Chain A
Amino acid sequence: METNNMKRYAFSFQGKGGDYFGVVVVNWLLTVITLGLYYPWAKERTLKYLYSHTNLEGDNFQFTGTGKEMFVGFIKVFGTFVALYAGIFIAAKTQNSVLMVIFIIVFYALLIGIIPFAIHGFYKYRMSRTSWRGVRFGYRGDRVTLVKIYFKDLLLSIVTLGLYGFWMTIDLRNYTLSNIKFGNAEFKYNAKGSEYFFLNLKGIFLTYITLGIYSFWFQRDILRFYLDHLTLNNGNEKVRFQSKLTPGDIFELTVINMLIIIFTLGIGYAFVEVRTLTKLFSNIEIVGNIDLDALKQTEAEYKNAFGDEALDAMDLSGII
């Protein structure tokens, strides 16, 4: 499959701690002044900075979403949560224990049930709002299919007391990432749940018996696992991703980041994020034979940010 005209693509993060600090601080100030209402715009500013300083083959990515779109999403999520809490509150007021139990079950069912819809919405919105050289990314996944995978795996995870959770993570990732498009090129993610399970089993076990020292190797393996199974495909052409980050790199990142956070009481967080992304991205090797000058605009725009905000509200942004 691998032909001889393989090339290595340049990929890096070029943000500067000092500049990003400005973005973060202005966000803080405006968020405090507006009692938190500025939040969606703060998110827009942050994402715009991070995307536009991520560089592929000499050109930057672009986040084209707006605070307004995310504010609408934020209001929808907020409304949903208020309705849920109001239901619980009313049930509690009636002091009818049967009604109360029903409401609590409905509450948690909705909270858990909303997750696959949020994941779907997140990808649709975020990908449509991500572009490079003007060519949009896109998400072509089917909501019903994702919901089915989610509930089937959730059920299996409950039955197996959480063990199947590793397979669930991989099933969701396989489905969502394989439906991401970069113009007319397609991402494919093809990993096995069992491989991920054993990776974690080994990692957690060795981390315990080495009193945490192995965690740097564990993190390296997790990163490798993420990227090893990802490809970008365009007809017969293909691009592969690889993480070259070493346990030493991770150790250095972790320790210095921790020191910065502790000694600046969290104010230096902007510097930590920039350092981390710089290190991480410069250690991602992208090799393949796709002509990145020939990507075509194929993906439509999508403005509904409900999923993006819902994942944020539930602190689940990390699951992507």
Chain B
Amino acid sequence: MLLATASPLMFFEIATPRRDSSGPAASMSNSEPSTPTGDDQGREQARLVAAMARGEKSALSALYDSLSRPLYSLAYRVVNDSAEAQDIIQEVFLQLWQKAGTYDSSRGSVFGWAATLTRNRSIDRVRMRKRRAELLAESAPDLQPASPSGDLDSSASLWVQEKATAVRSALGQLAPEQQKAIELAFFSGLTQLEIAAKLNEPLGTIKARIRRGLLKLKETLPTRL
């Protein structure tokens, strides 16, 4: 599926640094030279944001179609509540709409921007909603790749699903303790100390695991999914 549907995967071309041609992404790209690349997808996202800055609502609609699913999934993963996740997504897209003029593609991809906004708002919600003690007790991320749900037949869902598969695969290549540290760091909203306490490890060990895990993830994730 990954090789057959190339266009949605190219979104991440701008999100991750380009590696050398030895990776799977290179072979994918070489096998389908006529397929739109990740660079094209990234430029398309940036173009939509630029159009939004000019007040074009159709651009917002198109961007929503592309990003709502992974962003909603992220919000839901953090807050574990559908209504709250919807509120977060609404806030994020309205912020993207209003702040579109400030987007600078040289500072990162549209997806990176939107995902960061979604994660931060989700974590803020969780922190407001729960006391720290509850957070420590309840935020045990599911490290197993979850089964996809929803409408997998739509093209938007398809490309997101394929990218998600690639990310999960990359996470799966990490040592289990690195995986856990990365997941907690991203989804839980815990501090370094809280992560160390939760995993019952020294703080230095946790820092090292996050560093090694993220660097490996950066190397493993194909630049062209």
Partners in one complex: no
